[in-house]
Amino acid sequence: MISRPMQITIALLVAAILGMGFYALKLKQKVETLHATSDNRPAAPPVTGDLQTVTLWVAHDDGTLHQQQMQLAMPNEPAARAMRVLQALVQIYTGKDSPHPLGAGSDIEDVYLVNGTTAVVDLNQTLADTHPSGIMVEQLTIVSLIQTLTANVPNVTRVKFLVGGKERDTLAGHEDLKMTYDVSTVSQVAQELQ
């Protein structure tokens, strides 16, 4: 027969073990949430340049595109300008109350200009891997990126997309990323989406 004080001690110990286990589990979940939401990428260097009003073509998941004005510090070099506006557009998509939600961590890796007329836009792997799948939703992303780029960097007539520095068949199973986009053709599609 176990004495009553011993019973109380054991009960308290069991309660303490369960409580500590629960607390440890909560702590683990908190750390995992922090990992998932924190952005470990190195901080981008400060953008130098005049504050300018730029036009972004913002996609909405009702299947429309809307032009939106924004004040941004814009560099003079064309490739850097393209990078700046595209990153601003993707930030809208990854932000709260996004009209066209993309996965957390989606970003533009780099933008190259070839002969001033062909832009090579390198999307990061997260953007493509977490992108919703469907013809319309993928087309909205690509058309909005191209329209935003060409609205702020004139003379670009062709745009090619890479993902993580490599060619990829489609964005998320539908939109063709093998082709080089003709800006005037994309512009006609953008008019229909407005």
Q: Which residues bind another protein (CB under 8 A)?
A: 61-63, 109-110, 112, 114-115, 118, 120, 122, 132-137, 139, 142, 160, 162, 165-167, 169-170, 172-176, 178-179, 181-182, 184-186, 188-189, 192-193
Q: Which is nearer to another protein, 129 or 182 (CB)?
A: 182
- How many Cβ atoms from other residues are within 10 Å of residue 180's Cβ? 12
**Among residues 54 and 158, whose Cβ is nearest to another protein?**
158
Q: How far is the CB of 118 from another protein (least distance, A)?
A: 6
Are 93 and 61 a contacting pair, CB within 8 Å? Answer: no
Q: Rounded to the nearest whole angstrom, what is the least distance from the CB of residue 76 to another protein in the complex?
A: 21
Beta-strand relationship, 50-60 and 158-163: unpaired
Alpha-carbon separation of residue 176 from 2, 20, 144 (angstroms): 74, 53, 15
In angstroms, rounded to a whole number, what is the distance separating the alpha carbons of residues 123 and 164? 6
In the complex with another protein, the residue whose CB is nearer, 13 or 114, is: 114
Kindly state the smallest distance separating residue 77's Cβ from another protein, in Å: 16
> Shortest gap between Cβ of 39 and another protein (angstroms)?
21
By beta-carbon proximity to another protein, the closer residue of 74 and 113 is: 113
CB of 159 to another protein, least distance (A): 11
3-class DSSP assignment, residue 129: helix
DSSP secondary structure, 94-148, as one string: HSTT-SS---TT--EEEEEEETTTEEEEEE-HHHHHTSPPSHHHHHHHHHHHHHH
Q: In the bound complex, what is the minimum distance in angstroms from residue 62's beta carbon to another protein?
A: 7
The one-character DSSP state at 155 is T
Nearer to another protein, 72 or 107 (CB): 107
Query: What 3-state DSSP class applies to 137?
Result: helix
Closest to another protein by CB, 74 vs 161, is 161
Give the end-to-end CA distance of the chain in Å, rounded to a whole number.
Answer: 82
